[in-house]
Amino acid sequence: MKKKSDLPVKTCPVCCREFRWRKKWEKIWDEVKYCSKKCRDNKDRK
């Protein structure tokens, strides 16, 4: 098992916060851009 600090990290372009890899994103990690549904819905507002 990996430590949380060892997981890959990305920065959300909307809120500029870092978010970490999640098991549910395992197969689509390269496609994940936003940290949450709220940020994805607000992507045009920034």
Q: How confident is the model at residue 44 (pLDDT cuts 50, 70, 90)?
A: confident
Please name which of 1, 3, 19 lies closest in space to residue 11, comparing C-alpha atoms: 19
The whole-chain average pLDDT of the chain stands at 91
Q: What is the mean pLDDT of residues 12-34?
A: 95
Compute the distance between CA of residue 12 and CA of residue 39 in angstroms, rounded to an integer: 8
pTM above 0.85, yes or no: no
Q: What is the pLDDT of residue 46?
A: 58
Tokens linked to 14: 């909307």
Domain regions of the chain by residue span: 4-41
Per DSSP, the three-state class of 39 is helix
